[in-house]
């Protein structure tokens, strides 16, 4: 890993560039046609009077909406701006740049057309009803940056009541990529997933579903100690017990984990641990180097708070950690949801899945880890990188095949067809962007704003 003197200025550069480049481009996404417009006569087909024929066909058979419109490749990215990138409740306007960025990643990495929608409401029932109103227009829903605990109920309710897949990337997406990274990190350090002790730092929208997923794959709650902002979770946490209506998942974790009843904070939790999974508040200084020194040999640290990890990677390494991962692209081992959601949505849209199950998440995570392992894993490379664009094809196929296996797909396709379809769609998205750049329709950034 490069030295602290090399990394710290580099870590600050993306924020500096963002303040120049966002105003320069005035946003990151736009609407472009996907049909030819040879002359104005074509509008008679794409709009009135010709479009009425498509409307009548869909009216007779609503499933034809997937054939006559872009619903089959269109999703909504929905947020209320209450938990944006570790910045907290900054509101819908301030959250919009993130949702636009998400839409950009969906398109470029997965070929998925995503519409950013920031809502001026914080009420769970209003968010749920708004998404229900939007269901006819989209093939899927991506919830984003919604605070906990309401995010859990919103996701659970919508998954039950909608006939299109609903995904909360802060929950399911984080758990997917984290699990993939954990699989390979344990292979690098030669530890068995059944024998390790895991410490969770932060028990919010990211770590609660990660805990659920790890239980699903066979990790025992007795292997886990969890910490929230007030300390270690245990059966004596009356502050949580008194609010089980709001924090039922957290109270369940209190009851299931930490069999020895250890109390205290992160320092005490990390003593003798093998793995630290941190999705808490931005650092540095949330996890201190001296605490990592008390972990077992060949320890693994996932310090994934954004925009700044709970501990700088070089500090964790100096303290004895073998593998360190963060959520940032400018450090090794980026645990970023962007490795998961583009391919997952590509897969569910291509078979028109009705929902997204834990088994589909596990299939996607396994595909991610296998892709990295086949090209080689090491201390500083436990996951694929975003520029290895073939990984999204493999994740799409794995997700789609599992959806068909579980009987929740409307379409039936073989793995080779799925791979080729995903290849063509993603290739089109990437080459379309390149063409716009080469033609000068997307301008190059000013020289003083380049990274």
Active site residues: 47, 102
The closest alpha carbon to 235, from 205, 217, 220, 255, belongs to 255
Strands (E), 203-279: 224-228, 231-232, 275-278
Local structure of residue 274 (DSSP, 8 states):
S
Residues of the chain by 3-state class (helix, strand, coil), percent to 5: 50, 10, 40
Q: In what order do the strands lie in the sheet with 140-143?
A: 113-118, 74-79, 140-143, 166-168
Residue with tokens 């310090």: 303
Element at 248 (helix H, strand E):
helix 248-256
Per DSSP, the chain holds a count of helices (H) and strands (E) of: 18, 10
Q: Are strands 113-118 and 198-201 parallel, antiparallel or unpaired?
A: unpaired
Give residue 190's region: left, alpha or beta (phi > 0; psi -120 to 50).
left
């Amino acid at each position: 890993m490069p030295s602290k003197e090399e990394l710290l200025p580099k870590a600050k550069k993306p924020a500096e560039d963002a303040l120049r480049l966002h105003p320069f481009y005035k946003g990151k996404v736009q609407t472009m046609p996907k049909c030819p417009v040879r002359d104005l006569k074509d509008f008679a087909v794409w709009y009135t009077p010709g479009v009425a024929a498509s409307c009548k066909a869909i009216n007779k058979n609503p499933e034809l909406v997937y054939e006559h419109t872009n619903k089959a490749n269109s999703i909504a990215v929905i947020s209320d701006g209450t938990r944006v990138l570790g910045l907290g409740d900054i509101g819908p306007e301030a959250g919009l740049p993130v949702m636009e960025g998400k839409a950009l990643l969906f398109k470029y990495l997965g070929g998925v057309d995503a519409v950013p929608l920031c809502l001026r409401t914080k009420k769970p029932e209003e968010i749920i009803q708004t998404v229900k109103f939007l269901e006819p227009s989209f093939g899927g829903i991506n919830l984003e940056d919604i605070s906990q605990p309401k995010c859990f109920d919103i996701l659970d309710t919508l998954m039950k009541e909608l006939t299109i897949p609903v995904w909360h990337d802060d929950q399911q997406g984080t758990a997917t990529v984290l699990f993939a990274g954990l699989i390979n990190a344990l292979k690098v350090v030669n530890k068995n997933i059944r024998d390790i002790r895991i410490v969770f730092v932060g028990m919010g929208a990211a770590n609660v579903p990660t805990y659920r997923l790890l239980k699903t794959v066979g990790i025992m709650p007795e292997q886990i100690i969890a910490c929230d902002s007030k300390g270690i979770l245990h059966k004596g946490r009356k502050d949580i017990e008194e609010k089980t209506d709001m924090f039922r998942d957290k109270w369940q974790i209190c009851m299931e984990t930490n069999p020895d009843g250890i109390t205290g904070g992160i320092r005490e939790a990390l003593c003798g641990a093998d793995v630290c999974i941190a999705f808490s508040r931005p650092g540095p200084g949330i996890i201190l180097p001296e605490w990592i020194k008390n972990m077992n040999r060949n320890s693994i640290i996932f310090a994934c708070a954004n925009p700044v990890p709970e501990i700088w990677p070089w500090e964790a390494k100096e303290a004895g950690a073998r593998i360190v991962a963060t959520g940032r692209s400018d450090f090794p081992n980026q645990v970023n949801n962007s490795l998961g959601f583009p391919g997952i949505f590509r897969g569910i849209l291509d078979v028109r899945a009705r929902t997204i199950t834990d088994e589909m998440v596990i299939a996607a995570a396994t595909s991610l880890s296998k892709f990295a392992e086949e090209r080689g894993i090491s201390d500083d490379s436990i996951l694929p990188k975003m520029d290895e664009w073939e990984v999204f094809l493999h994740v799409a196929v794995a997700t789609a095949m599992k959806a068909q296996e579980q009987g929740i797909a409307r379409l039936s396709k073989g793995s080779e067809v799925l791979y080729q379809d995903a290849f063509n769609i993603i290739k089109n998205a990437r080459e379309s962007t390149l063409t716009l750049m080469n033609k000068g329709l997307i301008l190059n950034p000013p020289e003083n704003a380049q990274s």
